[in-house]
Amino acid sequence: MSTQQEIKKILAQKVKQYNKIDFIEKDPICIPHQFKKQQDIEIAAFFAAIFAWGNRTTIIHKGKELMQRMNNAPYDFCLHHTPKDLKQILGFVHRTFNDTDALYCIEFFKQHYAKNTSLETAFFLNQTTGEKINSVQGALTHFQSYFMSLEDAPRRTQKHVSSPVSGSTCKRLNMFLRWMIRKDNHGVDFGIWHSIQPSSLIIPIDVHVARVSRTLGILKRPQTDWQTALELTDYCRTLDPKDPAKYDFALFSLGVIEKYI
């Protein structure tokens, strides 16, 4: 267990070490970094984040494979595909995510982008009432409901889009939001969404981040759930109130890359 000053020093050093361009190549964020158009970035980032559990090399390989199946133009593919084009998706699988899930995502993107210029409004704007959503918790809760609202939505697909309501840490979607919202001059995160400030982001937490956080003495909560993600984020806000999510670089890298403790 370390003092807060010691923790802050360790984490600051690791943020500096990993929050830089070199990080991109071996991280799933390299998938959206292949693109320039905002909508391509959003769609590629969404899939890369949803795939992000397990071996990072496999995640990246599968992300690139799906982009290739979408002709390396995901936005155009989602909006203008033909039934014949969709056959290119058949047979795709990454762990428990399969072609049924991929085809549903494509249909969701087609319908959403037909009325919206950005995926940002899928999270931060209630599509029924027009009401703005001003918190990550509210955005994630709304997004799952909105995402699964299409007719004949496969029940199996919902497990890939988690919600705080079920107590999930929502690790992958919190990572996706970090990519979209957090912005600095280091070039890793995109910072192309502005509905909330980076100060409102929630740290993506998985077993590795949780283990490192408990070893350092940051976390007291024994289980790893949504409340744990809030506890970790609240602590990181004491270190940097404006940019707590930057510590994801440190905690993730200590746990996964350096296998700290």
Query: What pLDDT was estimated at residue 78?
Result: 98
The terminus-to-terminus CA distance of the chain in angstroms comes to 12
Which residue do the tokens 């984490």 mark?
11
pLDDT band at 11 (very low <50, low <70, confident <90, very high): very high
* Rounded Cα distance, 254 and 10, in Å: 10
Instruction: Find residue 98's DSSP bridge partners.
Output: 93
Mean pLDDT for 159-166 is 95
Task: Could you list the beta-strand ranges (E) of 18-125.
Answer: 93-94, 97-98
Closest listed residue to residue 161, CA positions, set 1, 74, 150: 150
Q: pLDDT tens-digit profile of 206-226?
A: 999 999 999 999 999 999 999
Q: How far is CA 57 from CA 69, 74, 89, 239, 254, in A?
A: 18, 21, 21, 32, 18
Query: What pLDDT was estimated at residue 260?
Result: 60
* Domain residue ranges of the chain, discontinuous segments joined by +: 4-257
| pLDDT > 90? residue 23 | yes
* Rounded Cα distance, 97 and 106, in Å: 13
Mean pLDDT for 235-260 is 92
pLDDT band at 261 (very low <50, low <70, confident <90, very high): low
Mean pLDDT for 54-81 is 97
